[in-house]
């Protein structure tokens, strides 16, 4: 999404450092209005050299969230100035990712951090979030950001493809120029629930190749730019695949052998070790500065940290923990980056798992919990409390702390009230539940804190730690009665549709996704808001829907967590880090290792 999206994505700079000898035309940028300018995510924090006093990251407010900014129609920003060519650095960048293995590198099934980060380097979309700044949209494979047209009650968006965007070569398929046929094939794949995890985003859309370089997308019901742009941007279902490669390799092989048009192309994959990418010399924005990138799967934080300190790794995924940030910031020749997007951690109640089917039990759990206690594990540098599924700090349509408190729906900690609610539900002695958690720090600390807090009201939680990829598959098979999910979505519609619309109910929904609650009570409000073109009325509908979910306590919003990465001081990403939807710093053709 991009016009002025919030919750921040971090991609490349406005002024791209174009390399090699064939710079692309300067894109026209549009502020992403789906999300207001973030007000709490700190800028990248740089660790000083050992002789200097360590620089501390700027702390984000821990509690009160600002009122969300209304989402105006996107307006065009000035055309960026092309940066001067920089001598090519070469070298292979080695990134230690917080995961035991790859999940799925088919971009339309990539949901985890380790997968999104690889996919981001291999694929493009019709439009993209500006590198390093997820609040702005700019053209990518398309030559311009389109304006909608109405015809016979239907809305259409027409894209002209840029010349010279080449599909990467793969076994049995030489490199060829991308055409509208690839784009239409890709969107039809995204819209099919058997070939995409994001099919629900494309309901009511049809795709047409007008000619080899023109694509037309028609919607049965009109929507705003704020909701349309994210669906065709470089995030989730918006990534464009190369048809010939997908058909040649087949659905199983593309899970570990992605083929796109991006700055880096697939070379090899070693199970539970690494994915290796090499520079795609014919990339339309120019030959990348780096020779390649190795994504190493290292679930153990200590191993990643030792690798960075010892020079075996150039970049590592850190821990969403202020104490860790402060410690690594003191290391020699290391820089720490804390940036958006702030992924929202929410506790979802599985209504199919007794006793969570009883409202008093769900309310008892909510009153037993303390957001500040959860936040203490993360620290105000990295995160802040949230009070609705849609984070008010970043997106229009979220509910602020003041709003939910005024409605008495903040569920302030009250252990005595929680115990009484359990007794009223016939559970005076509490109960025991078994839950699984991901090994990732962000998840694990929340489940462990949940375990400790619920024990105070007699609810015993037994926790099993599993790898992150297995966690995602397990919770999608209805394993947990309480599900912690940490995610960023580019709009209120995306959050509500994917987590709380009946079409998205896991296993049995029309487009099974992440509705772990098995909830179907706000479908009409979500659908009304989606086609409402008046921004104020649209926001009101989103807030009404979330008020109902809080009254019925089907989801307990906990906090947002910013991204935390550390890098060798000679790594230059090529853009400032403000927000990246791909959940890593954003490695592209301008990224280099300074010698």
Preceding peptide of 510 cis, ω within 30°: no
User: Residues 536-588: pLDDT tens digits?
Assistant: 999 999 999 999 999 999 999 999 999 999 999 999 999 999 999 999 999 99
Which position has the token pair 């199919």? 352
Give the Cα separation of 438 and 492 in Å (integer). Answer: 26
What does the pLDDT read at residue 381? 86
Give the Cα separation of 422 and 426 in Å (integer). Answer: 6
Domain-located, residue 392: yes
Domain-located, residue 49: no
- 160-164: list long-range contacts, CB under 8 Å, 24+ apart: 160/213, 160/214, 161/213, 161/214, 161/215, 162/24, 162/25, 162/284, 163/213, 164/284
pTM for the model stands at 0.82
Domain-located, residue 497: yes
Return the structure tokens found at 525: 């409000």
Q: What's CA 415's distance to the chain center, in Å?
A: 34
Structural domains counted in the chain: 1
Query: Which CATH number belongs to the domain containing residue 410 in this structure?
Result: 3.10.105.10
What does the pLDDT read at residue 61? 36
Of the candidates 155, 221, 444, 218, the one whose C-alpha atom is nearest the C-alpha of residue 321 is 444
Domain-located, residue 193: no
What does the pLDDT read at residue 85? 60
Residue ranges of the chain with pLDDT lower than 50?
1-31, 33-84
For residues 555 and 395, the answer to whether their CB atoms sit within 8 Å is no
* Residue 449 domain boundaries: 340-561
Domain-located, residue 466: yes
Domain-located, residue 281: no
Domain-located, residue 436: yes
What does the pLDDT read at residue 185? 98
Largest CA distance in the chain: 73
Going by C-beta distance under 8 Å and a sequence separation of 6 or more, which residues neighbour residue 240? 123, 124, 125, 126, 141, 178, 182, 183, 186, 260, 261
Domain-located, residue 296: no
Alpha-carbon torsion 75, 81, 9, 121, what sign? positive
What does the pLDDT read at residue 196? 96
């Amino acid at each position: 999404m991009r016009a002025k999206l919030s919750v921040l994505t971090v991609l490349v700079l406005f002024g791209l450092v174009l390399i090699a000898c064939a710079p692309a035309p300067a894109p026209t940028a549009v502020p992403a209005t789906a999300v207001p300018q973030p007000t709490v995510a700190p800028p990248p924090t740089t660790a000083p050299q050992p002789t200097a006093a360590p620089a501390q990251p700027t702390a984000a407010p821990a509690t009160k969230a600002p009122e969300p900014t209304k989402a105006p129609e996107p307006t065009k920003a000035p055309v960026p100035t092309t940066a001067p060519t920089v001598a090519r650095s070469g070298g292979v960048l080695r990134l230690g990712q917080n995961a035991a293995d790859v999940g799925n590198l088919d971009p339309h099934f990539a949901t985890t951090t380790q997968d999104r980060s690889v996919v981001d380097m291999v694929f493009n979309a019709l439009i993209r979030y500006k590198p390093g700044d997820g609040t702005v949209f700019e053209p990518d494979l398309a030559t311009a950001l389109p304006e909608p047209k109405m015809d016979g009650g239907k809305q259409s968006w027409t894209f002209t493809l840029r010349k010279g965007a080449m599909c990467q070569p793969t076994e049995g398929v030489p490199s060829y120029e991308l055409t509208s046929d690839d784009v239409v094939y890709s969107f039809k794949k995204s819209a099919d629930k058997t070939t995409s995890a994001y099919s629900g985003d494309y309901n009511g859309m049809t795709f047409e190749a007008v000619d080899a370089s023109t694509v037309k997308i028609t919607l049965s019901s009109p929507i705003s730019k704020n909701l349309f742009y994210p669906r065709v941007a470089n995030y989730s279902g918006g990534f464009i695949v190369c048809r010939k490669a997908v058909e040649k390799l087949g659905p199983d092989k593309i899970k570990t052998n992605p083929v796109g048009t991006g700055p880096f192309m697939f070379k090899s994959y070693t199970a539970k070790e690494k994915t290796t990418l090499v520079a795609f010399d014919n990339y339309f924005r120019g030959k990348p500065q780096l020779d390649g990138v190795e994504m190493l799967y290292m679930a153990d934080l200590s191993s990643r940290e030792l690798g960075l300190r010892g020079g075996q790794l150039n970049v590592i995924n850190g821990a969403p923990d202020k104490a860790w940030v402060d410690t690594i910031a003191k290391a020699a020749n290391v820089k720490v980056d804390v940036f958006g997007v702030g992924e929202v951690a929410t506790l979802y109640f599985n209504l199919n798992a007794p006793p969570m089917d009883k409202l008093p039990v769900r309310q008892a759990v909510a009153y037993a919990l303390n957001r500040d206690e959860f936040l203490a594990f993360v620290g105000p540098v990295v995160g802040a409390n949230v009070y609705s599924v849609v984070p008010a700090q970043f997106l229009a349509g979220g509910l602020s702390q003041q709003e939910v408190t005024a409605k008495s729906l903040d569920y302030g900690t009250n252990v005595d009230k929680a115990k009484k609610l359990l007794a009223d539900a016939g559970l005076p002695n509490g109960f025991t539940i078994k839950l699984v958690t991901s090994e990732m720090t962000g998840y694990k600390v929340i489940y462990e804190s949940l375990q400790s807090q619920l024990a105070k009201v007699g609810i015993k939680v037994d926790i099993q730690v599993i790898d992150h990829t297995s966690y995602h598959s397990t919770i999608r098979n209805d394993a947990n009665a309480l599900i912690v999910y940490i995610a960023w979505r580019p709009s209120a519609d995306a959050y509500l549709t994917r987590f709380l619309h009946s079409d998205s109910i896991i296993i049995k929904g029309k487009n099974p996704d992440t509705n772990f609650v098995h909830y179907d009570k706000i479908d009409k409000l979500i659908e009304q808001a989606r086609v409402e073109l008046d921004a104020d009325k649209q926001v009101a509908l989103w807030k009404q829907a979330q008020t109902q979910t809080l009254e019925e306590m089907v989801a307990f919003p906990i906090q947002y967590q910013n991204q935390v990465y550390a890098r060798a001081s000679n790594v230059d990403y090529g853009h400032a880090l403000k927000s990246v939807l791909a959940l890593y710093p954003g490695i592209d053709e301008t990224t280099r290792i300074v010698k």
